Structure formats: C-alpha cells, structure tokens
Structure 1
Amino acid sequence: MASELAPEDFISNMPDNVITNILHRLPLLDAVRTAILSRNWRFKWTKLSELLFDDIFFSYLLETKDENTFGMIVSRILLHISGAVTKSVLILSVLDVESIHHLILFLSKNGIKDLTLTSWTMPQLKLPTHLFSCLELKRLNVCGCRFNPPPDFRGFPNLLSLELRAVQFGDCDLGEFLTRCPLLEDLNLGYLSYTGSVKLVEIAKLKNLKILFLSVSHLETATTCNVFELVVHLPKLQELGLDFQDCRLTEGGVKKKLLTASPSLKALKFTSLDFGNGIVLSFALEVIRLFPNLQTLEMTAILQVPDPFPITIPIPVLEAEYNMAELRSVVFNYFKGSENEVYMIKYFLACSPSLKKIDIQRNWCLPPGEQLIFAKKLLKLHRASPVAEISFK
C-alpha cells in the first residue's frame, strides 16, 4: 500500500535530452556530483556535450583539492564522457602541459565546435598542434597563448567566429591564417589582440563577415577613407567596432569630405574613446557620417584616472543640417559630462529625426549630485525627433 502511494519520480523519468539540458545549466562539478543521487543518475552526467573547465570549476576545486591534482581530475572526467563534446571553456593556466595536450587531443576527436582557451602564464603557452585538427570548429576564442599552426595546416573550413586577445603569432601570418577560414562571419581583433599590424586588403577578402571589431592602433594607416573602402568590400557587414586604445591620429588622418556612395552598415561601436581629444572624436564622427543607414551607435569612453588639469582639444564645428535619418539608438558609456560629450549629444539630437533613445551610463568619477545638473542641461537641447528620450544612469 505504501509503495502505491509513493510519489512518482518525474525528474528521473524525463527524457535523457531534457535531463542533459538541465545538467548543462549547472556548474560542471555540480553536474558530475549528481552521480551520487541514485543508481539511475550515476551516468546521466556522462552525456554532457558542454564541458566548462572555467573559473567556477577551478575555484570549486581549489577549496578542497591541491592544484597538482587538477589535471588528474580533468582526465577522470574526460574518461567518462560518452558522447560528442561540442562546447568547451578551458582555463589553461592551472593545468600542466601534459594535461593540456591530453585535453585538446580529446576535444579534437570529439566534435568540438565552440572552444574558448585562456592562459595567463608567462612566457605565453604554445597551443598544442592538436588544436589545428579540430576541423569542425565554428567558434574559437583564444586569450594569452602562442598561435603557431603547423606547416601543413589548411585552415578551419567551418569557422564562423574568431576572437583573439593577447595572442602571439608564430611563423604563420595573421592575414594568411584568416584566408584559411573562408566562412568567417564574426572577427574580433581588438586592442592587444595580437602582435603586428592589420592589412586591410586581407580582411577585405573575408566576404562573409557580418561583425568586425578592429583596433585603430593596429591599422597601417588610420583614415576614414580606409575604413570606408574596407566596409565597401564587405557586402554582408552589419556591425563594425573600432577600439581607440593607444591610437595615434593626426589631423591629416581625418577625411573631411563625405563620400557619396555608402554601404548599408547598421551598427557602430567605438571603445576606449578619449572624449577630451577633438582629433580622435572628429575621426569617430567622420566614420559615423560615412554610413547614413546607421541605426545603432555605442560609444565607450577610455577608462582612466581623472586628470586634475585636463586639456581638452575641442571638436571642430560640424554641419548641423547633416541628416542621420535612420539613427534610432545611441549609447554613451562612462560619461563624464565634458563639453565635448555634451556637444556630441546635442549633435545627435539635432541631426536624428528617427532617434528613439540615448542611454547615458555615467563614469564613476562623476558625482551623483551632478546628474541632475547635466539632466537639466540635456533636456533643454533641441531634438529633431519628437519621441527621443534620454536615460541617465
């Protein structure tokens, strides 16, 4: 009678794909620990297709285990995995070289498609050659490693997304490597992404690019004309990002004349902008004006300790009648309330009849009490769009 009244175990009786989906939402060690729940649950976790050996994973281990055992624990987990592993995040700094080679070899044989590799060791870790046999890769994110493909490497034929941060290339040239990834749609080469400069003619060969992020400091010559010519040769490009960290611009590098034909780029993102430097801001504004179909714009100020005696290089006066007809959303990050910043907000409000919202995230150095002062100043500005809102946080 008691057994007839016992509640049914709905969770354990769910389909395996549903249970695996639930386990993917747990930290990896918690997912592995479900093996002790019951005999029925002993091998549920072995069907995981995502292995996140990330900060959370190693932080858990550090509480109870010695760092010298991390490689052995990772190997034991790999030993029990029964299916394909399509996604993995690896913090390589805490593993010995043998464990790293074993782990990358395992992934190369198990259908890895989404891989993130991070290392903080110096000198930089040389990635195992097994990585370059992961031909099913669709997304690759590499941070702090030496990237040295073997001579017979023919590329990643299925790679759609590539992000490099603090990566040192070996014998293989970056441009040459990129040409071996014919399907690439998302390329992130921000500040300190790699050593060397970008040859725009090589990036222009990536005809499938939809998202591109570049560091201005890596460009061979930084002019708005070059930026325009690059985008013209990327017909599918939807979003362009430029990082201005440590860029060296001169007034001669700013193209004043607006080009007639313009690509249909929809989104621009600028990071590490020095709003006190009118030359840099003029460059950014001229890039914006190259793309009349622009719908979203995000500008992030450079993070730096406030200068008690700042020198502001003003922005040259721009034509107020210029029409940014499609612009709908503008975001300012780390707003300090400088004259140049206020001028730019005034400019966007006056030139954007379709604008819906300007989001302003204040910098930590701007006292909360000054928010009201700037809010009142901004509310008085003329707006070409009757529905434009300003959000100040």
Structure 2
Amino acid sequence: MELIHGTHKASKFASQDFITNLPDNVVTNILDRLLLRDAVRTSILSKSWRFKWTMLSQLVIDPNFFGYLSVTKYRNHHVRIINRILLHLRGAITKFFLSIDEVIDIEDINHWILFLSRKGIKDLTIRNSYATPLKLHAHLFSCLELKHLSLSNCYFNPPPTFYGFPNLLSLNLSVVFEENTKLGPFFTGCPLLESLTINDRRKVGKVKLVEIAKLENLKILLLRLYDLDIKMIKSSSTIFELLGSLPKLLDLHLNFQDCHLTESDAKKRFSTAFPSLKALRLSKICLDDGNMLSCAFDMIRSFPNLQTLVITACDQWYAGPPAPVEDYNTAGLLQLRSVVFHYMKGSENEVCFLRYLLACSPFLKQIVIHHHWYIKISSDEKLTFARKLLMLHRASPVAEIEFL
C-alpha cells in the first residue's frame, strides 16, 4: 500500500531548533551555571544567541575571571569590562560575587553596589584580598532585598538611619567595626536572620551578647569569643548566657583563639539543656588547660541531642600547669554520631576526653583523629597510642577510630 501523504507525515518529524526556542527562564538558568567568560562567549554560537548572555542574573567575578583577562588583550581593562557587562544585563541581578584580586578603585566598587541596589540584588559577596580594608559607601545599606551578605576585610558601620535588612537570612562579617558601630539596632532590623558569622579583624570586642541574643531565629552561629565585649570569659556560664536566648540554634562554632577562661566558674555545672543543637565545633581550644577542658565537658553534656562534634585543638604548646584529670563518665549518655579531632598531641587530658566520648556515646559511628602537624610520630608511637585508645570502653558496638 502506497503512502500517499508520505511527505506530509515526514514533516512532523523534521528536526527542530530546540535550543533557539528555549524559554527565557531556562536560558537564564543555563547561563547562570557557566563561568562568566563562557556565558558571554555564547554570543558566538549563532545570531539568535548573540545577546542571550545579557539575560544573566548571577555574576561571579573571581580569580578565574581576572586570570582569563590577563592572557587577553583586555588584561588592563578589567574595570571597563565589568562596567560593560553590568550595563548590558537586561533583568534583575540576584547574585554578585566579587573577589578583589586586582587593583580596583573603591569608587568603582561603590558605583557597582549602587547599580546592584537598583537591580534587586539578593546575594552579595565582597572579598578583599588586600591588606587595607575597603571603605564601602552607604549604598550597601540600600540593598533592602538582600537575603545573603558576606563581607571580608571591609569597614562595617551601618548608618544611624538604617533599620536593617528585613529579608536577610545569612550574614558573614569578617570586617573592621568602626568605633561608633552599634550592632543592636542592626540585628533588630534583621528578624529573619538564620546564619551569622562574625570576625572582628581589629579584635576590639565590639560584639555584645545582648545584641546577638536579639536574633531569636538564629540556627547557625560562628563566633570568636575574643570578639565579645568582655575581657575575660567566665567558663561555660558566659556561653550559656548567649545560647539560652537562641532556642532554634542547630549549629554552633566557637573559636577560643586568644580567649582566657577564669577559674571562678571552672567547677560549676550547668543544668540548662539545649535540645535543638545538633552540631558543635570548638576551634583553637587547649584541652590541657583545665578551665577549657571543663568548659568543653560542660558544653557537650548540656547538648543532649548533639550528633556532630569537631574539635580543633590549639596549635601551640600549653605552657601552664597540667590540668587535673577528672572522671566524667557519669555524665549521662550522648547522641553523638561523628567526632573529628584536629591537632591531637596525645596528652593525658585528650585521652580522658576521648574516653568520655567513647563511654557515653552508644550511637557513635566514627572518631577521626588528625595528629598535631608539629609532632613527627613514629610507627611504634602511633601503634602504642592506637592500642591505648582501642582499650577504652565503647558504648557503641560499631564505633570506629581512624588515625590520619
């Protein structure tokens, strides 16, 4: 039987240019996943794609971008290239990542921020690799649609008339706080904030506990204790004073660098429990210091649902008197699943600490131990230390100890 309409039927299956006819939102999604240079280079694909790159909504200007320009004829025109890209973009710019690895005039950066404030910017990151902090203009505080803000090596001082970012979810400040900076009103104006990282690069202690306590929605907190506006930390009591006002906190990272704990509260026990906390990270903590060892025990026992624990010990030798080793095995069961220990020296206090974790963690799956990089441990010494740990009682039948 002949196919009378064979030609007509075949046309239904003729090849179509699906890429050219992609919806704009799909094209934008594709472009945003490419390196900036590759997104712009899509202009050579075809006539219809010549200006597709202007639909970009996310710009990542990082060392890869500057490195690419350095091997082209535009190596000394990075500011002009960035200006042209920004001016050609059609719609909203939701994300802008700037890593300053080349000399850029601060006025250019401030003009970009002003431009972004009018383009609906929601995710802004500025990383300054140079020694001198950046003096950003108040244009930054006109980006009221921001959801994520990360600043590194910049001055930070919200103007008195600024009432906060109402939509902000995450804030990372590794900045220089100016003398008259007041964070209380700023935090009050960020009611949705869930993640906060603060690092005062001048170490002048501008952060107040009462100001952080206003962030009732906080779930992730990274804080260097030395940045607090108190000269001495009274062991765990000061820390629990902060945590008691953060009922939704899930992940806590405390940096003990340059922090000194007093003896007044070293023996004090705290009954307050924090059921929400699931992950605890303690950095630059010296467990050979009796006050810090006691503080670490107090915190772990007060987090009954803690599942992940990461300890990064101080990378310097402890010069004080040896801390008394106490029996903490009667403290109750823990919910720990994973423990990572960095810079372990193998001291008696550290072994005591591991003994407690193994004996009180029936659900523990793994302890990973990284030795202190200063210590050159022989195979025999590793074997002796491993045997000592393997002899410790384990509440979990599946707990493994891995040495790296």
Residue 389 (1) aligns with residue 397 (2): no
Moved more, 233-242 or 14-23: 14-23
Residue 186 (1) aligns with residue 198 (2): no
How do residues 225-240 of structure 1 correspond to structure 2 at under 5 angstroms?
A: 225-240=237-252
Residue 77 (1) aligns with residue 77 (2): no
Q: What is the alpha-carbon distance in structure 2 between the residues aligned to residue 29 and residue 275 of structure 1?
A: 49
Shift in CA distance, 28/205, structure 1 to aligned 2, threshold 3 Å: same
Q: RMSD in angstroms over aligned alpha carbons?
A: 2.8
Amino acid in the other structure paired with 1:17: N
TM-score (norm 2): 0.86
Query: What is residue 142 of structure 1 aligned with on the other side?
Result: 151
1:310-361: CA deviation from partner (whole Å, max 9, x where unpaired): 7673353132121233222211123343333232212200121222221223
Amino acid in the other structure paired with 2:294: S
Q: What is the alpha-carbon distance in structure 2 between the residues aligned to residue 193 and residue 32 of structure 1?
A: 40
1:91-139: CA deviation from partner (whole Å, max 9, x where unpaired): 2463112311221011111111111112244542211211100001011
Query: What is residue 108 of structure 2 aligned with on the other side?
Result: 99
Moved more, 130-139 or 175-184: 175-184
Shift in CA distance, 56/340, structure 1 to aligned 2, threshold 3 Å: farther
Q: What is the alpha-carbon distance in structure 1 between the residues aligned to residue 46 and residue 321 of structure 2?
A: 67
Q: Contact 1:126–1:148 (CA<8 Å) still a contact in 2? A: no
Q: Deviation of residue 7 (structure 1)? A: 7.5
Q: What is the alpha-carbon distance in structure 1 between the residues aligned to residue 237 and residue 84 of structure 2?
A: 55
Q: Deviation of residue 290 (structure 1)? A: 2.2
Shift in CA distance, 67/155, structure 1 to aligned 2, threshold 3 Å: farther
Query: What is residue 272 of structure 1 aligned with on the other side?
Result: 284
How do residues 167-186 of structure 1 correspond to structure 2 at under 5 angstroms?
A: 167-169=176-178, 171-186=180-195
Query: What is residue 375 of structure 1 aligned with on the other side?
Result: 386
Pick one of 32, 55, 58 that aligns with 1:50. 58
Q: Secondary structure at the match of 2:187?
A: helix
Query: What is residue 18 of structure 1 aligned with on the other side?
Result: 26
Residue 338 (1) aligns with residue 350 (2): no
Q: What is the alpha-carbon distance in structure 1 between the residues aligned to residue 269 and residue 292 of structure 2?
A: 17
How do residues 270-309 of structure 1 correspond to structure 2 at under 5 angstroms?
A: 270-303=282-315
Q: Contact 1:168–1:194 (CA<8 Å) still a contact in 2? A: no
Shift in CA distance, 42/367, structure 1 to aligned 2, threshold 3 Å: farther
Report the count of equivalent residues.
387
Amino acid in the other structure paired with 1:26: L
TM-score (norm 1): 0.88
Q: Secondary structure at the match of 2:77?
A: helix
How do residues 197-216 of structure 1 correspond to structure 2 at under 5 angstroms?
A: 197-216=206-225
Q: Contact 1:166–1:194 (CA<8 Å) still a contact in 2? A: no
Shift in CA distance, 174/313, structure 1 to aligned 2, threshold 3 Å: farther
Amino acid in the other structure paired with 2:114: L
1:275-307: CA deviation from partner (whole Å, max 9, x where unpaired): 443332222222222222322211112345xx6
Structure 2: segments with no counterpart, 5+ residues: 1-10
Query: What is residue 122 of structure 2 aligned with on the other side?
Result: 113
Amino acid in the other structure paired with 1:52: V
Amino acid in the other structure paired with 1:152: T
| Greater gyration radius | 2
Q: Secondary structure at the match of 2:98?
A: strand
Amino acid in the other structure paired with 1:284: A
Moved more, 81-90 or 173-182: 173-182
Amino acid in the other structure paired with 1:273: I
Q: Contact 1:281–1:315 (CA<8 Å) still a contact in 2? A: no
Shift in CA distance, 154/112, structure 1 to aligned 2, threshold 3 Å: same
Q: What is the alpha-carbon distance in structure 2 between the residues aligned to residue 46 and residue 315 of structure 1?
A: 66
Q: Contact 2:106–2:135 (CA<8 Å) still a contact in 1? A: no
Q: What is the alpha-carbon distance in structure 2 between the residues aligned to residue 247 and residue 163 of structure 1?
A: 21
Q: Contact 1:167–1:195 (CA<8 Å) still a contact in 2? A: no
Q: What is the alpha-carbon distance in structure 1 between the residues aligned to residue 17 and residue 70 of structure 2?
A: 34
Structure 1: segments with no counterpart, 5+ residues: none
Q: Deviation of residue 170 (structure 1)? A: 5.2
Q: What is the alpha-carbon distance in structure 1 between the residues aligned to residue 48 and residue 91 of structure 2?
A: 18
